[in-house]
Structure 1
Amino acid sequence: MSLLAIDLDYLAGALEALLAIPSPTGYTDAIARHVCLELERLGVAYEVTRRGAIRARLPGAVTRPARAFVSHVDTLGAQVKALKDNGRLELVPIGHWSARFAEGARTTVFTEEGAYTGTILPLRASGHTFNTGVDELPIGWDHVELRIDAYARSKADLNRLGVDVGDIVAIHPCPEFLDNGFIVSRHLDNKAGVAVMLAALKALVEAKAQPTVDVFWLFTIAEETGHGAASILTPEIASLVAIDNGTTAPGQNSDEFGVTISMADQTGPFDYHLTRKLAHLCRDNDIKWQKDVFRFYRSDAASAVEAGADVRTALVTFGVDASHGYERIHMHALRSLAELAVCYATSPVEITRDATEFGSLKGFTTQPTRDAEQSLHPDTRRPERPEDDSGPEHG
């Protein structure tokens, strides 16, 4: 089918609404409710796990082999490690991010008595007092503290306010949506991925486009701490495409424009056939794309496989500059990802054997083993298949 139009105003609005809801890992109830209400508005059926992960389903022409997209609603954050004698708070990070990007961040501390805003500051925060000592302070979580915006000059004051060890600290995103399409904010990883999935769902629903097979839309709540999609897949899901951030940094091939397809991350290569199918869909539908390999990166796809799910996995990304810091993306990449998601959801299933969890070699996939020049058709540049029924190339 031809490319469906993606409602960019809806996509931007969805992202802005998501960014406005604090959701560090461990504090995701509010954003889970928000996503569920949005799915209801779109007319998409869903169910929620005990802890708040969401599994929505768009019915296809057949049920198997089902496909799934996954993104995570949780973000980086911090947690109170100790109440200090000076009325400040010692912190530990939620997720993996540098204290370099915590310095100066505005925050909200959620206590059982209520919420307080505050600022994360280096232990030496005043140049008028410490002079060059401000620049000599090392970078690290042991060298910052949280100053809350309330009367707190001692540990006793903090106790009276109801602040306690373990309280969750959300980092304010401070989003900016620029007229030239750039978006600057914290937590674009991965609220932008969630917005992409919602925009793709909206396009499919409004066009009354029935997917080829059932497509599940998974929203996880603990990707930043490594749990991710460990317990949300169903047995009929054969292919899982994670939508997350790519790293546009020196030495990387990611881009803030178009789709960046990850061929591997720190857990190893993604599925050979699924990644190539996604690349061919980009090429055939004139969606800008490029490939990359991430060395210090894992996603929801990794957590699913490590939990024992026998699924083909892929990772498609929007290029992010300064990931896990003050991030920047471009709407072009978000639109491109939504277009790819729609294309994949409505594309033919070529590995029909994936409908069953176990089978014979009949229909099993093949990978090229001969010289590249011999094994490729000159017109399509795709590997030839043997004449027997050894199976297709893509999922």
Structure 2
Amino acid sequence: MSYPNARETIDLLKALVSIPSPTGNTFEVINYVEKFLSELQVDTYRNRKGGLIATLPGTDSSRHRMLTAHVDTLGAMVKEIKPSGRLKIDLIGGFKFNSIEGEYCQIETSSGRKYSGTILMHQTSVHVYKDAGKAERNQENMEIRIDEVVKSAEDVRKLGIEVGDFVSFAPRVEITPSGFIKSRHLDDKASVAILLQLIKHLKTNEVSLPHTTHFLISNNEEIGYGGNSNITPETVEYLAVDMGAMGDGQSTDEYTVSICVKDASGPYHYGLRKHLAKLAEEYNIEYKLDIYPYYGSDASAAIRSGHDIVHGLIGPGIDSSHAFERTHQSSIENTGKLLHHYVLSEIIS
């Protein structure tokens, strides 16, 4: 059995996480994905929200599948330009201020100019602030130190920086000799890389699919509505490919594909879940079943918006989600293999 090339998947992942794309400013990464698919001669179109839909025709065009992964990431916006020349920020997505303390960042102005900076506590210096370690990590205390000569709010505005400018976080991607992938934004660019590599494998090898299959690269998942539209009336099954969440009480790990049975939106479709687990067992794919207590996906967004579909959620296991994330090559491989067999299988109903 031939599978998508895992090494190429990881190379693609590195390229994707290196493109800044906080929710609301995903044009550059969508352009990248669009070009990748165009070179494979895959038909695509953009929805009005800026997401990208690719379609591979199948033998049965009366019942469709849709798979989705999202390129938008956590990020921030400039909330206030302080008299000191530093910036207050407002968060985009569900994460905590402490997870970005000390991180390098980029501010992109509305005219496209880009400036580097560092996210720091206002009370960082222990030589000045007695309670530096005790101060709360929140919007009031954290700020961006811009890498430009700025001594006032006026100096900052002369650079073209203004309230509402997007802030992205440095990914710091690293592949270790032991096969670990460390980077911000593995949620969900690891899954995007897996889907793109799957499409490449199917096209390159002229694999015939049993059902017409759509691939939605969504761009608003982190704020809850990336995958809730542009679902064809013929679509029967909808599978979100997103990270598996790890922590105390979780079965998900960094080495297997995680099949979600329930998240904050409720249970995923029981029949589709069993179908995915059966495929994994049949083809000796390592997997874990899990519940993600504080989680929602593009699939759950699609259900909430009223679509009459069978919905599911799988993905690579990601440690320290919405912070300093990490997974392993084996999790990428297992997820890719399961997706490969899934798109070649018959729709369950």
Please give the range of the TM-score, normalised by the shorter of the 2 chains: over 0.9
Deviations for 1:315-346, whole angstroms, at most 9, x for unmatched residues? 00211110000000011111111111110111
Give the equivalent residue in structure 1 for 2:118.
Answer: 119
Distance 1:123 1:349 in 2: 55
Shift, 1:206, TM fit: 2.1
Distance 2:225 2:87 in 1: 27
Alignment of 1:192-271 (within 5 A): 192-271=190-269
Counterpart contact for 1:106–1:120, Cα < 8 Å: yes
Distance 1:142 1:266 in 2: 30
Counterpart contact for 1:85–1:154, Cα < 8 Å: yes
Deviations for 1:223-280, whole angstroms, at most 9, x for unmatched residues? 0011111222111111111111111211111111111100000000000111110010
Distance 1:91 1:189 in 2: 21
Counterpart contact for 1:265–1:298, Cα < 8 Å: yes
Shift, 1:74, TM fit: 0.3
Instruction: Choose which of 17, 20, 30 in structure 2 pairs with 1:19.
Output: 17
Q: Secondary structure at the match of 1:40?
A: helix
Counterpart contact for 1:4–1:339, Cα < 8 Å: no
Distance 2:140 2:278 in 1: 48
Give the equivalent residue in structure 2 for 1:345.
Answer: 343
Shift, 1:13, TM fit: 1.2
Q: Specify the code of the residue in structure 2 equivalent to 1:39.
A: L
Give the equivalent residue in structure 2 for 1:94.
Answer: 92
Q: Specify the code of the residue in structure 1 equivalent to 2:84.
A: N
Distance 1:26 1:222 in 2: 7
Give the equivalent residue in structure 1 for 2:136.
Answer: 138
Percent identity reads 35
Counterpart contact for 2:272–2:348, Cα < 8 Å: no
Q: Secondary structure at the match of 1:17?
A: helix
Structure 1 unaligned spans of 5+? 352-395
Structure 2 unaligned spans of 5+? none
Shift, 1:42, TM fit: 2.1
Give the equivalent residue in structure 2 for 1:326.
Answer: 324
Distance 2:126 2:275 in 1: 56
Alignment of 1:267-346 (within 5 A): 267-346=265-344
Shift, 1:4, TM fit: 2.6
Q: Is 339-348 or 278-287 further displaced after alignment?
A: 339-348
Q: Secondary structure at the match of 1:212?
A: strand
Give the equivalent residue in structure 1 for 2:106.
Answer: 108
Counterpart contact for 1:53–1:232, Cα < 8 Å: no
Instruction: Choose which of 53, 56, 68 in structure 2 pairs with 1:55.
Output: 53
Distance 2:3 2:109 in 1: 44
Shift, 1:96, TM fit: 0.8
Aligned length: 348
Q: Secondary structure at the match of 1:135?
A: coil
Q: Specify the code of the residue in structure 1 equivalent to 2:242.
A: D
Counterpart contact for 1:101–1:326, Cα < 8 Å: yes
Counterpart contact for 1:109–1:117, Cα < 8 Å: yes
Shift, 1:51, TM fit: 3.2
Q: Which stretches of structure 1, 4 residues or more, deviate above 3 A after TM superposition?
A: none
Q: Secondary structure at the match of 1:319?
A: strand
Deviations for 1:57-93, whole angstroms, at most 9, x for unmatched residues? 1111111211111000000000011111111111110
Distance 1:346 1:218 in 2: 18
Q: Could you tell me the TM-score, scaled by structure 2's length?
A: 0.97
Shift, 1:43, TM fit: 2.4
Q: Is 105-114 or 264-273 further displaced after alignment?
A: 105-114
Q: Secondary structure at the match of 2:107?
A: strand
RMSD of aligned Cα (Å): 1.1
Distance 2:199 2:339 in 1: 9
Distance 1:349 1:102 in 2: 42
Q: Specify the code of the residue in structure 2 equivalent to 1:25.
A: T
Distance 2:225 2:348 in 1: 31
Larger radius of gyration: 1
Q: Is 228-237 or 25-34 further displaced after alignment?
A: 228-237
Shift, 1:207, TM fit: 2.2
Counterpart contact for 2:106–2:115, Cα < 8 Å: yes
Counterpart contact for 1:25–1:222, Cα < 8 Å: yes
Which structure exhibits the higher relative contact order, with contacts defined as CA atoms closer than 8 Å and separated by 6 or more residues?
A: 2
Shift, 1:299, TM fit: 0.8
Q: Secondary structure at the match of 1:129?
A: coil
Q: Specify the code of the residue in structure 1 equivalent to 2:273.
A: T
Counterpart contact for 2:3–2:340, Cα < 8 Å: no
Q: Does 1:10 align with 2:8?
A: yes
Shift, 1:24, TM fit: 0.3
Give the equivalent residue in structure 2 for 1:147.
Answer: 145
Deviations for 1:31-57, whole angstroms, at most 9, x for unmatched residues? 111001111122221111133211101
